[in-house]
Amino acid sequence: MSSFPEADVLARPWLSADAGRWVSLRVPLWARPVGPAAVLLVAVIAAIAAAPDEVCTAGQPCAADWLDAAGTMLFVPYLLSLFALPELAAVLAPLLLLYMAEPSQWHGGAAEKIADSVVVMVLGWGWAAVMARLRVRRRQRSVVRDAAGGIKVLAPVPDDFRPWQRGLFRCVVGVLMCAAACALITTVVLDDRADDRTAGTAKSQEAPVVAYNGDEYTLTVRLADGTRHQFDVIGSYHDDNTVRVLTHGSWVRLASEPYGDRTDRQLVALSLAGLGLPLLVSGLFARRGAAALRRGPVPVLRVLSRERWGRTEIFATDDADGASPILNYKPHISNRTNLRSAHLYGLPSEGGELVLASATEFGNWSVDATVSPIRLGAAADPDTGSIDTKQSAAQRRSSESLLQEALTSMSQGAGHVRWQAGPVARCVAAVFGIAVIALLGVLASEVSSWWHSGYLWLIGLNAVISAHRMLSWRVTADPAGLHVRKHWRTHLLPWTDVTSAVYTARGGLTLSCRPGVAHVSLGTVGFPALERGLNRPSRAARAAVEISAMVQEPNLRPKDNA
């Protein structure tokens, strides 16, 4: 708790009109990270799968190509930063475009060139998307600055809060992962140098090839003393009857692949670096944002706040009912359950930081700080996935308006009413199922072990089940109740058990029931963002509205004599 006279702080109220301007500054659909990330992941996998095996010879050995390996692994931090760190993605995208511009990347066949072309286009898409997201954040901060009217004060600091702890865990883990990567890279380089020195004094011999396994990339040769030796290789040896081998006592190496046995270590090292870099940069950005709130005076606004499900929600001062949350975040302390007056310090934007001072029932003020990035809209229940919190305030208002319209427009005592998948959901589900199965089929053909293949097909089966659910769901209303079909089963839900139906912002359709009766969720059956973009109303959204109308007004339900 804080003892400073927070009630005397001069601050303008954040009214619904100003808050609405802030909320309306949303990232456009095309700039959401899911699209470019998903397409890029598929394109990169396709490019790697279509790339021909290297041709390694004694005259032109396959050396440790660190530039190519590092460029390939740079896609890992880029994909992660598309979601959590657009500032880093804005830097990595040009580097990856330069990497893809290297002529050696385009020496493969037609399939690889097509995949590489898609990678280049999606990198451009992703770069434009992150720049759009950063522009939205700048405009959000500008709107808050205008709403504050130029009033700036020093932000308070909670007594038990240590600013230096913000982002510390991510920084430590990121540094450790990058340090481990550097250590592994050092061992690889030292071993390569030692092998180079040994190879200078080694004997060369032509060894006949006994066996070559192109699936497991192993090559077995017979040495001059009659013994056999197996090498792990990265190149193709289908047409080779003999290979040149270097020997020095117990030391044996292929002349065409002097460093082939250290590829795994190289891959692990670059993977650690690729995962550690986003963690480290994310922690540094969090620390910088928290420090900026305490470096000098910052804008302040009067707001309302409350806590739900472990997250603090912020409302406009004239939203006395708490119907339209502006933003939410995970707080440092948890002591606000009812709607309370508060002062918001800082320039909040999606992914940003703020400080909040809230009035308590004891007459003093509690000061809080963010320990997670800011999110837009209402908080969601992480355990139960509450129906109410999955809907945005705008969607709730739209649903209420549609419900009132349905109550006045629906005919009374109509016959059986049926709701099922619409054309948008059917097309997306079909494309999704076919694409996943085709991709997994290609990957499974490249996998030698049966359990890897089984695991891939298990993923494919799950994708088919999800697609089937989106295609085959059906709800039929008759005098007895709702006949709900999910997958291959249909069961009756009596009218006395149903209390409402909700189509969530994530495309889920849920039938809420009275206490003692489990809710019935049909899962994801629609795509609200795509449906809005195509201006094609969702069948699931209409089902939710009309079922809710039938629940509220029994005369709208089907009759026995219909």
- What's the N-to-C CA distance of the chain in angstroms? 65
Can you spell out the DSSP letters for 276-336?
Answer: HHHHHHHHHHHHHHHHHHHHS-EEEEEEEEEEETTEEEEE-TT-TT--S--EEE-BSS---
Count of residues for the chain?
Answer: 562
| pTM, entire model | 0.63
Alpha-carbon distance of 171 to 34, in angstroms, equals 26
Q: How many CB atoms lie within 10 A of CB 337?
A: 9
Report the DSSP beta bridge partners of residue 314: 305, 327
- Token pair 């291959």 is found at 488
The SS3 call for residue 355 is strand
Q: How many CB atoms lie within 10 A of CB 554?
A: 9
Alpha-carbon distance of 343 to 151, in angstroms, equals 12
Helix (H) or strand (E) holding 510: strand 508-513
**Which pairing describes strands 355-359 and 365-369: parallel, antiparallel, or unpaired?**
antiparallel
**Cα–Cα distances in Å, from 534 out to 67, 424, 545?**
43, 9, 20
* DSSP 8-state class, residue 51: S
Alpha-carbon distance of 382 to 389, in angstroms, equals 10
CB 98 within 8 A of CB 33: no
- Write down the mean pLDDT value for the chain: 81
The SS3 call for residue 149 is coil
Sequential pLDDT tens for the chain (562 residues): 444 455 567 889 999 889 989 988 888 889 999 899 999 999 988 888 887 777 777 777 777 677 777 888 889 999 999 988 999 999 999 999 998 888 777 777 788 888 889 999 999 999 999 999 999 999 999 999 999 998 999 888 776 666 556 778 889 999 999 999 999 889 888 888 888 888 888 888 888 988 888 777 788 989 888 889 888 887 778 778 888 888 888 888 888 887 766 777 888 888 899 899 999 998 898 888 888 888 889 999 999 988 877 788 899 999 888 778 899 888 876 655 678 889 999 999 988 888 888 887 666 788 888 877 888 887 765 443 443 444 445 555 556 666 777 676 677 766 788 888 877 777 877 787 777 777 766 666 555 555 556 666 677 777 777 777 788 888 898 888 888 887 777 888 888 888 888 887 777 888 888 766 777 888 877 777 777 666 676 788 888 888 888 888 888 888 865 4
**Cα–Cα distances in Å, from 52 out to 26, 100, 220, 299, 460?**
43, 17, 21, 58, 26
Alpha-carbon distance of 82 to 34, in angstroms, equals 8
Burial 73-111 (b: 16+ CB within 10 A, else e): bbbbbbbbbbebbbebbbebbeebeebbeeeebeebeee
Rg (CA), the chain: 30
Please report how the helices 110-148 and 16-24 are oriented relative to each other, as an axis angle in degrees rounded to 10: 170
